[in-house]
Every structure is written in C-alpha cells, then in structure tokens.
Chain A
Amino acid sequence: MADVNERRFAKLKVPIGPSHPALEEPARFLFEVEGEKVVDVDYELGFNHRSIERLCQERPFSKIVYLVERICGICSHAHPLNHVERVEDIADIEVPERATYIRTIYAELERIHSHMLWAGIAGEEIGYHTLFMYTWREREKVLDLFESLSGNRVMHGCNRIGGVKWNITEEQAKSAVGTLSYLDTVADKITKAVLKDSNIAERCKGVGGLSKEDAIRLGAVGPNARASGVPEDTRVMCKYAAYGDFDLEPLTAQGGDVVAQAVVRLSEIKQSIWLTKELFANLPDGPIQAEYDNEVIPPGRSVGRVEAPRGELLHYVETNGTNFFERIKIRSPTLANIQSYVPKFLGCQVADIPIIAASIDPCFSCTDRMTVIKAGKRKIVSSRDLKLGRV
C-alpha cells in the first residue's frame, strides 16, 4: 500500500546542459524531478577546461600576463591584476600610486558592467526580455568607456608587472565621470525595475535560498555569500591596489534567495560608481610603471586574493629563479560557489532552475581550465601531447 502511494509521481531525470539556453557556458546539471519539484541535483564541470595552469608552466614570464587575462571575458581584469600583484609581491616591486589607482578604476568599471550583465541575464532567465535588452544596452556605455581607455572592450591588456600600460588623460577622466553620472541614473532605474516589479517578486522571492551557516560551510564567496549575510568583501579585508585609501563596507542582504542576490549586486553597482568617481577625482600624478630589473624574478612564492565581480579570486604563484613559473594555481570564485548550488536547487520547481543557476552569477570559463575534445574530432589529449604542444 505504502509503495503504491510513494510511487505516485514518476521521477524524471532532466538534463540541463552542457548546451542549454539557460546557461551561457557549458556545465552539466542532472536534475531528478517529481512533477515540477526538484528532488536531487548532480553537476559535472570541465567542459571549458583549457589547461591554463599547465600552460603557465611552459611559457616564459612575458606571455603569462596575457594568458591569464584570457581565462574569462567578464573577469578579464581581475585575473591579470591578481597575477601581477603576486609577482610584484615576490620580487618586492613597489608599484607607483597612479598605477594602483588606474588598476582600481578598471576593476571597478569591470564590476559595474559585470553586474549589469547579470541583471540582464537574470531577467532573460525568467522570460523578461525587456529587462535584458535595457540593461545590456546601457552596459554598452561602460564598454565604450573601456574602449576609450584601453582600446578594447574586454581583455584590456593594461596590466604589466610593475604598473599599467596606458595612462588616463584629463579629457578621458572628465568624459568618464560624465558617463558615470549617467550610469548612476540608469542603476537607479534598474534597481527600481527589478525590486519593485510584482512579477519578478513573485518569481524570485524565496527562490534558491541559502542560510548563512550553509554559505560559510560550503565556502560561498563574493556577492553570493553576501546575499546570505556573510559580511566578507576581499576589497575590505585585503585592501589591495588602491582600496586602502577608501572607506568601503561590504553590502549584505539576508536569505540568499534571488531577490537578495539582486539587492546585493544592484547596490554594488551604485557603490562602484561612487568609488570610480572618487578614484577619477583623486587620481594622483606620477609615473605609471615602476623601474625594476626585469631580467629575472627571484625564487619565492606569493598567494593573494582579489575581489573579482563574482567573488574572491585566489592566485598562488611560485617562482624558481628561471624564466618559467614553478606553479601557478588559480581558484576562481565560481568554483567556490558551485557547492552552494545544492541547497539552492533542492525543493525548487523546474521553472526556477534557470533563475537559480543564474543567480550565483556562474562563470564556468573561469572555473574549468582544460578542454579535451578538439573541434571536429573527439580526441583524448594525453599529458605528452600537452607537453609537446600538440594541443
């Protein structure tokens, strides 16, 4: 009797990914679904794995900054920033103040455009195309600003060991501040559109919640953790680059559900806009590149963190006195946040899967770093092939 009642709903296994409209990047989730309710979730990563850590050991120093930059398109400044800061830490290179300010400006602008991108993607996942179109249209202003400062929308290539490559002129600073004031009004509009919409509230309130204890236990980082009430912000904790000169506070919300994530990210846009305006206003004069002996970086190691738009990004760099790195380890924020998917998904409905998947702002390009399926032919690449450069 009890058996018949238990088997009332057939369990359906719904795969999401590797290619699915809900995910911008490939990852595989396998949901066990009863009716419309999710009862179990399993994930598989590695579809975007590009063996970057291995490649870093086989290329000389000068190429690694560019390699590290191409780990991810949206966090394309956080990775090289962290990397050059580690190398400067090992070699005891003192970076001029103007360079640290310029680096911080790029980092904050990146945070602004990444969070606007997230707002658009979140809207798209719940079917709200208009929000998606609007936020991405306004995001173009940030990308135009990037293009005027560094020549490229993403992958700026402006970080170098010891400083930055391009200076910021007076006119650029002035027009940038004008754009930022306009973006302030846009951020207000987006915040109002997202938080005061009854349709969004009905779809997103209480969906994908994560308690504070779970967030700490599962190692959530960045806005994902702050949405559950964990007040940790690497910019405040580590005070790298120019953050030590400003009074920042971690912005938190309660509950960890999609609305809390939206609150944290949208308030961070405003915080970043304020901070970037301060940075432009107080840009100190001076050189943008430190002079150092760039023949050899002494043997040593350094580990450090940076607040990428998605959370705490950790780089561990070890050198051995030659022209190649001994070991580079990169732990991107999404890898730390993936484990927090499990409590978020359990008990939700199938309709909520895309929005929960998008709510932690996943960036699987940062997470995996080695692909084995070559375009066209399926070929398992062995480590010998990697070493001989036959990839």
Chain B
Amino acid sequence: MKRSFEDFVPTIQADHKGLNSYYRITLDNLDAALAFLKEEGTRLSTITGKDARDHLEVLYHFAFWGELHTVIVELPYEKPEVPTITNHFFNALLYERELIGLLGIDVLGIPDPRPLELPPKYTDPTPPLRRV
C-alpha cells in the first residue's frame, strides 16, 4: 500500500512480518479502517472468526497485490455484534454468513442473514466453533 495504515487509523497494536501486517483496532474505528483500505484499492480476501477464550475476535484479511493486511476487532461474549462491511466490500457477504452460523456473531445490517453452512434444523444453542 502506498500509505501506512497506522498513520491514518488509530491502532491499538500493529505487527509487521514480511508481507503480512496485523492491526488491532477498536470496533468504532472499523469504518475509518474500511474507508482507508477501500481507497488504497485492497480487496477483501476473507473474514476469520475466532473464539479467544475470554472474548471473540473477528479478523478481516485484506489483500493488496502480495501483501496481506489483517484488521483485528475484539468483541465481548455478552455483545457479539459487528456491523456488516458489505457496503464497502460486497464479497464479504458469504464470509459474514459463516460468522453468523459457525460462531454466533450478529452481523448488523447484513442483506442475507441465513447461516451459511448449517442445516435449517440445527437446534444446538452453541455455535460449532465456540469453545465451551
């Protein structure tokens, strides 16, 4: 990328290793981060959801030619909500549906809220990828 992420978006922590960069930000700065990444011309590669034992994490992986920039957002267990990013990156739709299904994260404002891979009659209240 031409400009550096930390200079434009308030970052709690930034790690760089080779072509990979990881930026930990708060949920409020997500919009600013997305706007910046969209301007730089990155593409969303995928979204990873993670149960980090005392909170949930959502990692957005953006690709810019050979570089991979990962934006990490922490979510508490009591309020697992994250706004949708399909306004900026439309191909996030299926990845966010995976978050809904496999991790039980509410994605606010998503156009198609059906969980991606679970069957319609899945009744277990704990989503599969959570550690209980």
Q: Do these two chains interact?
A: yes
Which residues of A pack against B, CB within 8 Å?
A: 45-46, 49, 51, 53-54, 89, 216-219, 237-239, 301-305, 312, 314, 316, 318, 326-327, 329, 331, 335-336, 338-339, 368-370, 372-373, 380, 382-384, 386-387
Which 3 A/B pairs are nearest by Cβ-Cβ distance? A219-B91, A46-B117, A331-B46
User: In the bound complex, how far is the Cα of B46 from the Cα of A373, in angstroms?
Assistant: 27
- Shortest beta-carbon distance from A263 to chain B in Å: 23
A370 x B117 contact (CB < 8 A):
yes
Residues of A within 8 A of B116 (CB): 45-46
Task: Decide if B45 touches A383 in the complex (CB within 8 Å).
Answer: no
CB distance from B114 to the nearest CB of A (A): 8
Cross-chain contact A302 with B48 (CB below 8 angstroms): no
Pair B20/A336 contact, Cβ less than 8 Å = no
Q: Select the residue from B22, B61, B68, B128 with max chain A CB neighbours within 10 A.
A: B128
CA distance A369 to B128 in the complex (A): 12
For the A-B complex, the count of residue pairs with Cβ-Cβ distances under 8 Å equals: 98
**B9 close to chain A: CB less than 8 A:** no
Report whether over half of chain A's contact residues are helix, strand or loop; otherwise say mixed: mixed
CA distance A285 to B19 in the complex (A): 28
| B94, B117, B118 pick with most chain A CB within 10 angstroms | B117
Are A368 and B20 in contact (CB-based, < 8 A)?
no
Contacts of A314 in B (CB 8 A): 45-46, 61
Which residue on chain A has the smallest CB distance to residue B69? Answer: A303
Report the separation of the CA atoms of residues A216 and B90 in the bound assembly, to the nearest whole angstrom. 9
What's the least CB distance linking A321 to chain B, in Å? Answer: 14
Show 15 residue pairs from A and B whose CB-CB distance is below 8 angstroms, ordered by the A residue.
Answer: A46-B118, A53-B129, A54-B129, A218-B90, A305-B45, A312-B45, A314-B46, A316-B59, A316-B61, A331-B46, A335-B95, A339-B90, A370-B128, A383-B126, A383-B128
**Chain A: minimal CB distance from B65 (Å):** 5
- Besides A316-B48, A338-B94, 17 new A-B residue pairs in contact (Cβ under 8 A), listed by A number: A46-B116, A53-B129, A217-B91, A219-B89, A219-B91, A305-B45, A314-B61, A331-B95, A336-B45, A339-B93, A339-B94, A370-B117, A370-B128, A380-B123, A382-B126, A383-B128, A384-B124
